[in-house]
Structure 1
Amino acid sequence: MGGLIKSSIARKVAMALSGLFLVFFLLQHFSINFTSVFSPDTFNEISHFMGTNPVVQFALQPVLIFAVIFHFVMGFVLEIQNNKARAVKYAKYNGGANASWVSRNMIYSGLVVLAFLGLHFYDFWVPEIVYKYVEVNPEVPTRYYEELVHKFESPIRTGLYVLSFVFLALHLWHGFASSFQSVGFNNKYAVGATKFAKAFAIVIPLGFVVIAIVHHFNH
């Protein structure tokens, strides 16, 4: 097992699997947040369930946090490994001829996404933990929508969220599609899977941008 984890292929597969898990969570997170645009009551109901369900809070949430940390740590490890593997330095290297700009700069788009997650935790997760477990306030099932809208009152914060989702789209554009290849998804459905990944990389981040802008102008 130790030798497997140390191998380059195993690391890429592990990173791809963690990425696919995070993509699934992203879709679920978007589905919930999008209900806030057209039905505050539905958003409150789902958020209340997610915020009080013990399976979600004490089983799924720790798994999600671990997956986020694991994915980004593995990304840094692979980046360092790739840099060390370039034993021969070329006097002139045309990176664009060998790989797209997005694929060559995954570490930078990933860092922006990581910074956004830090802001997101500061904005939503930390206040939630303080509200429930530090201040021990009584649960109010209708509080979630107002708390969400309040976060997008500031044009600066809204702008940072929009910018972060642009970088998330760039990260997904290459990362989501390549994850299928990393896990060996190279059969006759590979082309369709890649097209789906590219569409996902545009539609879902754009949906989050729409949510932020709508709440900013309607608060």
Structure 2
Amino acid sequence: MSGFLNSTIARKFAMALSGLFLVLFLAQHFTINFTSVISKDLFNDISHFMGTNFVVQAFLQPILILGVIFHFVMGFILEAKNRSARNISYVKFNGSANSSWMSRNMIYSGLVVLAFLGLHFYDFWFPEMVHKYFESNPEDVARYYDELVVKFQSPVRTILYVISFVFLSLHLIHGFSSSFQSVGWSNKYAKGLRGFTVAYAIIIPLGFIFIALFHYINNL
């Protein structure tokens, strides 16, 4: 068992599960954020529920943060081992011969996504923690929408968000379908799953880009 847990297959399986979990969260996060272009009050109500619900704050949020950390740490470990394997002197590796650009550069698109998460935490999560737990401010159901749109007054920040979601799309185009392969779910439904994962990898990041541009234009 210890040998299996230390194997590359086990690491890929664990990383795939964490990736699928994060994909589910991404869809949920997009759904909530998209309500901000439909109804200010609806976005405030949902955001207030998510920000004050005990289960979400005490259980789901820590699990999400641990999932993000685990996914990226495991990605770095697998990348390091892959590079080590390719550097064996008696093997000539030609990555472009049988793999896509996205699969060969997952570490770079992942680093951009990680940098974006740092910006996103700086913009939203840290101020939220300060607001609730350090400043002890009274509850204000109407504050969430204004806190969101003010971030997109800056063209630089808006451009950074757009670029980050482009790289997220590139990361998902390969990573989402690979996650199904790693857990053994893609053999029977390979074609359908591939189509679904590519569509998801394009539509969800484009949706986030639309939200950012929508609020930036409305701030002009």
Q: TM-score range by the shorter chain?
A: over 0.9
Instruction: Report the alpha carbon displacement of residue 38 of structure 1 after superposing the two structures with TM.
Output: 1.1
- In structure 2, the residue matched to 1:3 is 3
Alpha-carbon distance between aligned partners in 1 of 2:13 and 2:89, rounded to the nearest angstrom = 26
- In structure 2, the residue matched to 1:177 is 177
Instruction: Report the alpha carbon displacement of residue 94 of structure 1 after superposing the two structures with TM.
Output: 4.1
Instruction: Report the alpha carbon displacement of residue 165 of structure 1 after superposing the two structures with TM.
Output: 0.2
Superposed CA RMSD:
1.1
Q: Does 1:155 align with 2:191?
A: no
- In structure 1, the residue matched to 2:120 is 120
Alpha-carbon distance between aligned partners in 1 of 2:164 and 2:82, rounded to the nearest angstrom = 26
Instruction: Report the alpha carbon displacement of residue 189 of structure 1 after superposing the two structures with TM.
Output: 1.3
- In structure 1, the residue matched to 2:36 is 36
- In structure 2, the residue matched to 1:65 is 65
The secondary structure found in structure 1 opposite 2:153 is coil
Report the count of equivalent residues.
218
Extract unaligned runs of 5+ from structure 1: none
- In structure 2, the residue matched to 1:168 is 168
- In structure 1, the residue matched to 2:52 is 52
Native 8 Å contact 2:186 2:193 kept in 1:
no
The one-letter amino acid of 1:28's match is: Q
The secondary structure found in structure 1 opposite 2:73 is helix
Instruction: Report the alpha carbon displacement of residue 188 of structure 1 after superposing the two structures with TM.
Output: 2.3
The one-letter amino acid of 2:70's match is: F
CA deviations over 1:28-78 (Å, ceiling 9, x no partner): 000000000011111000000000001000100000000000000000000
Instruction: Report the alpha carbon displacement of residue 88 of structure 1 after superposing the two structures with TM.
Output: 3.5
Extract unaligned runs of 5+ from structure 2: none
Once the two structures are superposed, the pairs formed by residues 7-26 of structure 1 within 5 Å of their partners are: 7-26=7-26
Instruction: Report the alpha carbon displacement of residue 89 of structure 1 after superposing the two structures with TM.
Output: 5.6
Native 8 Å contact 2:47 2:144 kept in 1:
yes
CA deviations over 1:100-146 (Å, ceiling 9, x no partner): 11100000000000000000000000000000000000010010000
